[in-house]
Amino acid sequence: DQQVKQNSPSLSVQEGRISILNCDYTNSMFDYFLWYKKYPAEGPTFLISISSIKDKNEDGRFTVFLNKSAKHLSLHIVPSQPGDSAVYFCAAREGIYNNNDMRFGAGTRLTVKP
């Protein structure tokens, strides 16, 4: 039972354009959400997070939007760069400080073309 879903296995965008990665969740108890980025042969690295008390969080070129009523979040990358090409994982957990269980989506492979 996958509680966090990334329905697009892959996404291809042109350099300089916007990349939008989507994530849906089913567990209404989730209140803290994170995005991780993963390059081949490396572990995932933390990118950006958002708590359920917010609907937007921005960090440089990366912005995460949260729509709690739709149980949906998205990661926007503007402008996209070739170095952003990686697999992006959405993750969620119950409780901002809960470290016992974080659920991940299956990932979306982003390719940014020069």
Partner 1 sequence: DAGITQSPRHKVTETGTPVTLRCHQTENHRYMYWYRQDPGHGLRLIHYSYGVKDTDKGEVSDGYSVSRSKTEDFLLTLESATSSQTSVYFCAISQGVLGGYTFGSGTRLTVV
Nearest distance from C-beta of residue 14 to partner 1, angstroms: 27
Nearest distance from C-beta of residue 72 to partner 1, angstroms: 17
Nearest distance from C-beta of residue 107 to partner 1, angstroms: 5
Question: Site residues (CB under 8 A) for partner 1?
Answer: 2, 4, 6, 34, 36, 41-46, 49, 89, 91, 96-97, 99-107
Of 62 and 104, which CB lies nearer to partner 1 in the complex structure? 104
Of 14 and 98, which CB lies nearer to partner 1 in the complex structure? 98
Cα separation, 65 vs 51, whole angstroms: 10
DSSP codes, 70-102: TTEEEEEESS--GGG-EEEEEEEESSTT--S--
Q: And the tokens for 7?
A: 């329905």
Of 79 and 103, which CB lies nearer to partner 1 in the complex structure? 103
Of 2 and 81, which CB lies nearer to partner 1 in the complex structure? 2
Instruction: Give the number of other CB atoms < 10 A from CB of residue 43.
Output: 7
Cα separation, 24 vs 95, whole angstroms: 18
